A and B are shown apart, each in its own frame.
Chain A
Amino acid sequence: MSTNLLIWIILSPLLGAILNGGLYFYNIKKQKISQNYFAIIGTLTPLIAFLITLSLFLRMLEEKIIFKQHLFTWLNVENLNVDMAFLGDNLSIFMSMFVTFVGWLIHIYAVGYMKGDEGFGKFFAYFNLFLASMLILVLADNPVILFIGWEGVGVCSYLLIKFYYGSKENVEAANKAFIVNRVGDFGFLLGVATLFFALGQVDLSFSSIEANLGNTTNGWLLLAGFLLFVGAMGKSAQIPLYTWLPDAMAGPTPISALIHAATMVTAGVYMVARFHFLYSGIEEIGTFIAYIGAFSALLAAIIATRQTDIKKILAYSTMSQLGYMFIAVGLGFYSSGLFHVFTHAFFKAMLFMGAGGVIIALHHEQNIFNIAKHRAILPIISATFLVGVIAISGIPPFSGFFSKDAILAAAFQEEHYVIYAIALFTAFLTAFYMFRLYFIVFVTPNGHDKEYVYTSRTITFPLLVLAIGAIGAGFLNLPSIFGGSHMVDSWLGSLNSKTITLSHSTEYILMALSVIVAALGIFIAYKKYANYDLEKPELEVGFVGRKLYVDELYDFVFVRSSKAISCFIDKVLDAKIIDAFIMKCSVGFVAIGRKVALIQNANVRFYAVFMLAGMSCIFVYLYLKLGL
């Protein structure tokens, strides 16, 4: 019976979205209704989804079963059979646990954040739809259903980023996010198609793909693995498809928190973990993924050190952390990667919500140097923000330390020392830029406090809950050298992840190294920014400050070049060559036509000649034929 509950994890936020959408239409067409209704529906439905997930999780703990729900056959065309089916195995239940939980907290936060906004109901309709799409993605039983969710979160992010569609900047950011994601989605779709044609199986579910992997050659699998990862590049903002992520900060802050913490951007990592059976067979692509992750992490961290917009710093840090996750899943340490997704969800959601709290308290000021000048006294936000910053910097025993350290150890153990070095250096940069942010916004003494907007309880409550998570989540996967039992690793055992088998002394050295590096970063940030003179704010200048000119490069390579090619085709190829050729061809026909037209000169006598000649011919013919 309880397997029927699986679908309700998805349906609950989906119904919330429909209800909120309908109510919102009623709200704008007929009569105003209280925002409380939207808030109640909007926050209750994710909670229900979370509670159902929790109950399924507890049952799985007890009975060691896998939930599978087949609703109906969606497509059945010759060889292609796609079922509308959902799968609740260890991986997807683990994932949906924190997606719903963190998502729920962000919904609560959004109630406070969006209070009084005209589009309150619309916002919650989109928000619930976003969560529903993410849950479809997570619980899908085959890549095609996964793609529905994959596109669903894309559409919802588009809708939410341009939530304030009145401003051109927001709409452009939304378009950018959508278009860059489409590039990735195209890769994903091609990957699924490649799998389908390579395997030639009747059923496209994950289990049958896994069972039929042997049917094809390694080359096809490499191609499929690569194309699927192109999809992940787009969704999870890795090199080269990352440029949409910082621009997506134009949307309201709860959206940034939701996209970055629990949902959309983690989809790529989840997808690679979902296809673990594929990727563990093609280590070349895995290494490629790991390198892409490492360089994305480094690039984003470098850019983050010079940004001045509080949300953009956090956006680049997300990209950087996603790079870590891809290092892990690329090298085959799927559970380590997912564990970092898990801990990251807590502290990143908290950081974004804290940033949002600061922004709203200071009337939408996002430049960190200006924030410091007008800094208000925000004790809860300040404290939780510190927790988040420590966690992301990797200071024990906060959660980020354990998850990041597992990834560093994994890279070291696999003897990818380049990746290890990059990741370690990125850890240093992470500590530096996160504490730069913290010191400037909350510590520098020479700002003058000004009036601020009261932060409501719906804003501070989720922060406190997440702070507990950010501190404690690491203990769920405590490594054995601290007497832990790798709870997350063993829960995700079905993924066949590699595990850390380094000797304890090596592991201690690696840990010490990463802590030293993080402490060094914090120290430099402290020296430079703890007493920073805010009269001379840093500007986004120079090579790094301008985000390494990647946007300009893309503009040049893709936008301008295709425009130039179009112009060339229009002005030269089409007008001068193709049109000229076609027109030359038609000249002969025109000439013949003119000659023929001479006969039709409307001269009555001329026509009469022809008429008589024709009649004479007929008579002669009849005479000869009939012998009259």
Chain B
Amino acid sequence: MITLSSYAFVSMILFSIGAIGVIARRNIFVIYMSLELMLNGVNLFLVTFARYHFNIEPQIISIMVISIAAAEAAIFLSIVILLFRSKKSLDTDLFTSLSQGEKR
């Protein structure tokens, strides 16, 4: 039987996998994909509750999240290209030039 808690559990797993990916991975594309995973976890949660409560509003929010994520992807990819041009690498640990600490 697929209950509400099953959906919630799956979305939490999705979110957590995304969060761990953001924290643990160094490749900036993988980080981006992990971010998307986190957003999808949240979307799933929103849709589940919309169905559960017979209310359309959370669905509207999830659609907005998807559309904003699409827009974000465009900006993100262009930023990644710029960063790659300056460092010739996709390792996020190298992108610290805005820090006030000493450069590594």
Query: Is B truly associated with A?
Result: yes
- When distances are taken between beta carbons in the complex, the residues of chain B under 8 Å from A612 are 19, 22-23
A608 within 8 A of partner (CB): yes
- When distances are taken between beta carbons in the complex, the residues of chain B under 8 Å from A597 are 100-101
A585 within 8 A of partner (CB): no
Whether A605 and B101, one on each chain, are in contact in the complex, defined by CB atoms closer than 8 angstroms, is no
Bound-state Cα–Cα, A617 to B34, Å? 22
Whether B26 and A605, one on each chain, are in contact in the complex, defined by CB atoms closer than 8 angstroms, is yes
B31 within 8 A of partner (CB): yes
Given contacts A602-B96, A605-B26, A605-B31, 13 further A-B pairs with CB under 8 A are A597-B101, A600-B101, A601-B99, A601-B101, A602-B99, A602-B101, A603-B93, A603-B96, A605-B24, A605-B93, A608-B23, A612-B22, A612-B23
A628 within 8 A of partner (CB): no
Bound-state Cα–Cα, A366 to B95, Å? 85
Which B residue's beta carbon lies closest to that of A605?
B23
Least CB distance from A610 to B in Å reads: 10
Tell me the A residues contacting B by CB distance below 8 Å.
597-598, 600-605, 608-609, 612
Secondary structure type dominating chain A contacts: helix
Which A residue's beta carbon lies closest to that of B102?
A597
Least CB distance from B15 to A in Å reads: 10
18 A-B residue pairs with Cβ-Cβ distance under 8 Å, sorted by A, are A597-B101, A600-B100, A600-B101, A601-B99, A602-B96, A602-B98, A602-B99, A602-B101, A603-B92, A604-B92, A604-B95, A605-B23, A605-B24, A605-B26, A605-B92, A608-B23, A609-B23, A612-B23
Q: Which of B22, B24, B95 is the one whose CB lies under 8 Å from A602?
A: B95
- When distances are taken between beta carbons in the complex, the residues of chain B under 8 Å from A602 are 95-99, 101
Bound-state Cα–Cα, A454 to B8, Å? 122
- When distances are taken between beta carbons in the complex, the residues of chain A under 8 Å from B93 are 603, 605
Interface residues of B in 42-69 (CB under 8 A from A): none
Which B residue's beta carbon lies closest to that of A599?
B101
Q: Which of B19, B24, B31 is the one whose CB lies under 8 Å from A604?
A: B31
Least CB distance from A247 to B in Å reads: 62
Least CB distance from A415 to B in Å reads: 86
Least CB distance from A32 to B in Å reads: 70
Least CB distance from A598 to B in Å reads: 7
- When distances are taken between beta carbons in the complex, the residues of chain A under 8 Å from B25 are 605
- When distances are taken between beta carbons in the complex, the residues of chain B under 8 Å from A608 are 19, 22-23
Interface residues of B in 21-39 (CB under 8 A from A): 22-26, 31
- When distances are taken between beta carbons in the complex, the residues of chain A under 8 Å from B100 are 597, 600
Least CB distance from B21 to A in Å reads: 10
Which B residue's beta carbon lies closest to that of A615?
B19
- As a 0/1 sequence over residues 7 to 19 of chain B, the CB contacts with chain A under 8 angstroms (1 = contact) are 0000000000001
Which B residue's beta carbon lies closest to that of A609?
B23
Bound-state Cα–Cα, A609 to B101, Å? 19
Bound-state Cα–Cα, A605 to B100, Å? 17
Bound-state Cα–Cα, A602 to B103, Å? 10
Least CB distance from A169 to B in Å reads: 60
Bound-state Cα–Cα, A602 to B92, Å? 10
What 5 A-B pairs come out closest when comparing CB atoms? A602-B99, A602-B96, A608-B22, A604-B92, A597-B101
- When distances are taken between beta carbons in the complex, the residues of chain A under 8 Å from B22 are 605, 608, 612
- When distances are taken between beta carbons in the complex, the residues of chain A under 8 Å from B96 are 601-603
Least CB distance from B94 to A in Å reads: 10
Bound-state Cα–Cα, A46 to B31, Å? 98
